[in-house]
Each structure stands twice: as C-alpha cells, then as structure tokens.
Amino acid sequence: SYVKDSVVNFKNGLSQMNTDHNRCNAIRAKQRKYAKDNCFARPRGAKGIQTGGISYEEYDFLKKGMVDRNKLFAVTMVALCLPNYFVYYLWSFPDMLPSPFIQAKDPREISRERCHAVISTLLDLEKGARVAPFASKLNPFGKKSTERAMERLKQFGDMGCIDFEEDGAIGPSGGKII
C-alpha cells in the first residue's frame, strides 16, 4: 500500500542519512589529520570541505552531504512551522527532499528519456535543415543566407547522426540488426 511504502521509504531514508553522516564524519576526520600533519587547522563549515587530503569522490560526497543536511533542515522547518502546507510543499517541490528520500528511477526509464531527448533534438535539427523558418519568408533579400544556415544545420545533424550509425542497418531489414 502507499502508506506502508511511504513509511518504509522514510525509514530507509533516515538510516541512509545516518550512514552518509557517519561517512562524512570519517572523511572530515581524514581532513583534520591531513591539516594537522601539514600544520594548519581545518576550517568549519563550507570552507572546511576544501581543506584537501581527500579524493574527488570524497569531496563530492561531502558536498552532497552538506546539501542533503540543508534540505533536511528546510523540510523540517516547513513541517514544523507550516504543517498544513507541508503536503503542498512536497508536491510542488519534490526535489527539496534530501537525496536518500527520493525514490530512484529505473535505469531503463532514464535511458528512454535520454534517448528521447537526443532523437527529438536530431529530428528538430533535421527539420530546421529542411524547412525554412517562417520569418525567412518575410525577408525578400535573405534567401541565400537562409540556405547557408540550413546547410550548416544539415551538416551539424549529419555529424550527430554518424555517431548512431550501425554497419548494414539500412531499411527495415537493417533495423533487425539493431
């Protein structure tokens, strides 16, 4: 049921936030050791994550942890100060939840969305290369410049399509190869 899934997601999100917080503490301890070894103090707050002595992955994780804690604080304040509007807040701004609370999308769905965006862009480029814009018809002296612009778009679209070509994939029989 929806309520059970929500409670389980909330519990899992809290435990993940705690696990992430413990990992952030371990990374900060590593930074403090690095700072102590190099005879300087690790600053507190946002400046502290730039101390050094950690990998980029750890730095990125510290930034994500800081953003998640700020989001958790904001969500908690809205829940405490404006409880009647909390549901509308979550509905209007779903990305305001910390990352452990957000349900992950299926990788296949993400792949479909990306493919759709790429194909739509290529189709728009192809349309722009084949169909002159309406405003170009209003200028009686701009025919050559419109043709040059459309040719540039066609070349750009052709370069993009080269990346998606498959040897022998021509027509309906070639579609079976892919």
Output the tens digit of pLDDT for each of the chain's 178 residues: 777 887 888 888 889 899 999 999 999 888 888 888 888 877 776 677 677 778 889 889 989 999 999 998 988 898 899 888 888 887 888 788 888 877 777 778 878 888 888 888 878 877 776 777 766 776 777 778 888 888 887 787 777 777 666 666 665 565 555 4
What element of type H or E holds 31?
helix 2-37
> What Cα–Cα distance (Å) separates residue 78 from each residue in 34, 63, 84?
38, 23, 9
Q: CB–CB of 151/130 below 8 Å?
A: no
Q: Which residue carries 């409670």 as its tokens? A: 7
Query: The whole model's pTM is what?
Result: 0.53
How far apart are the C-alpha atoms of 151 and 130, rounded to whole Å? Answer: 9
CA nearest neighbour of 62 among 28, 32, 99: 28
